[in-house]
Structure 1
Amino acid sequence: MPWVKPIRQHQFKNQFEGQAATVFDRLLANAPDIYDSFVPLQQSIKQTSLPNDLREAIITFVSMKNGCEYCTKSHVELLRSYIEEEDLLTWLEHYKDSNMQEEWKAVLQYAERLIAKPVQVTKEDMVRLKEFGYSSEQLVEINQTVAYTSYTNQLSIGLGL
């Protein structure tokens, strides 16, 4: 149970044009201006040019590394719809030694460095990603997906989800 009471589903629907909401959305909606500012960023992450499976792998990996059980649980379920790996969390946790494609390993290594200690990220990390064919736009999208996920993990953990 969250430490802050989420607004009720019917209140959310009335306030935000009839859409159903997760408990996360209803928590943030306690501060409508913040929620209204949050939604466009959330939508932009969902609409990047990154493949859906990679995006969900990044989000699940970052959430797992940050210890956000709520986000890990919800995103690993989405990831299962894209990837047929028996134990996805173990696969992600041990990505360096897994059968994962090298391109994804490079992305997760970048993500791991960025969330653990941002000053560990180097130009060489970007060069490695570029060698796999990522455009400047996609590099920004990868960076934003990692940063956004860490932000939402902090929101979730900090509100008791």
Structure 2
Amino acid sequence: MLQAVKQQLGSVPNLFRLVSNSPAALEGYLGMNSALAKGALPAATRERIALAVAEINGCSYCLSAHTYLGKHVAKLDDAEMTANRNGASNDPFADAAVRFAARVAERRGHVGGEDVAAVKAAGYSDAQVVEIVQHVALNTWTNYINEVAQTEIDFPVIGARQAA
């Protein structure tokens, strides 16, 4: 599994090395990532959500990784990534998804019907709403595992401004 990560990313980031202590956990993480990559949300929106959630959870490892991926893979600019870290987006459509994701993360899933209605009114489908929540959950898991293990950051370091 780590060889497949290396083929895809060009290296094996420390997060993957850490998670590989449990082959079952690595298989689950890679499987969920792969499934969500085929989902209804574009890569840029997925990176935006990852940045928002990492900031909320105070995970510098994930902020560093997703800032790098946001810039080099999703082609997000610095102003956009700053907005994402603040739970928003400069893109009006993406803004609804990022705001909803931030609300889900901040409230640990206990959002109101008005929150769901707002993201759907912006044009997100039921499938996309489910995927937004799944991205929050998956990113929260990586945030937690990195904070528990104090994973050494192997990307240009970006520090979290806050912790949950």
TM-score range normalised by the length of the shorter chain: 0.7 to 0.9
> What residue in structure 1 maps to residue 78 of structure 2?
86
Deviation at 1:18, TM superposition (A): 3.3
CA distance change for structure 1 residues 122 and 32 in 2, over 3 Å: closer, same or farther? same
Summarize deviations over 1:103-132 as a string: whole Å, max 9, x none.
Answer: 322222212221122365111111111112
Show the counterpart of 1:104. Answer: 94
Q: Residue 25 of structure 1 corresponds to which residue in structure 2?
A: 16
Q: Which has the larger radius of gyration?
A: 1
Q: Which whole-Å CA distance do the structure 2 matches of 1:38 and 1:91 have between them?
A: 27
**Residue in structure 2 matching 1:140, options 118, 125, 130:** 130
Which has the larger displacement, 106-115 or 76-85?
76-85
With normalisation by structure 1, the TM-score equals 0.77
1:64 and 2:55 aligned: yes
Q: Distance in 2 between matches of 1:35 and 1:95?
A: 28
Equivalenced residue count is 144
Cα distance, 1:75 vs. partner?
A: 0.7
Identity level (%): 26
- Greater shift in the superposed pair: 77-86 or 57-66: 77-86
1:106–1:128 contact (8 Å) kept in structure 2: yes
Unpaired runs of 5+ residues, structure 1, are 1-15
Deviation per CA, 1:18-41, whole angstroms, max 9, x where unpaired?
Answer: 332221111111122222232211
Residues of 2 paired with 1:34 and 1:83: CA distance?
Answer: 29
Deviates further, 122-131 or 35-44: 35-44
Quote the Cα distance in structure 1 between the aligned partners of 2:105 and 2:2.
35
Letter in 2 for 1:18: Q
Q: Does residue 1:53 correspond to 2:44, yes or no?
A: yes
Aligned partners of 1:62 and 1:150 also within 8 Å: yes
**Residue segments in structure 2 that go unaligned for 5+ positions in a row:** 7-11, 152-164
Separation in 1, partners of 2:84, 2:25: 32
The answer to whether the Cα contact below 8 Å between 2:87 and 2:102 also exists between their aligned partners in 1 is no
SS of aligned partner of 2:36: helix
Could you tell me which residue of structure 2 aligns to residue 8 of structure 1? none
> Once the 2 structures are TM-superposed, how far is the Cα of residue 91 of structure 1 from its aligned partner?
2.5
Q: What's the secondary structure of 2:40's corresponding residue?
A: coil
For normalisation by structure 2, the TM-score amounts to 0.76
Which whole-Å CA distance do the structure 2 matches of 1:18 and 1:84 have between them? 28
Q: Which residue of 2 aligns with 1:124?
A: 114
- Native 8 Å contact 1:103 1:129 kept in 2: no
CA distance in 2, matches of 1:83, 1:48: 19
- Structure 1 counterpart of 2:28, which letter? S
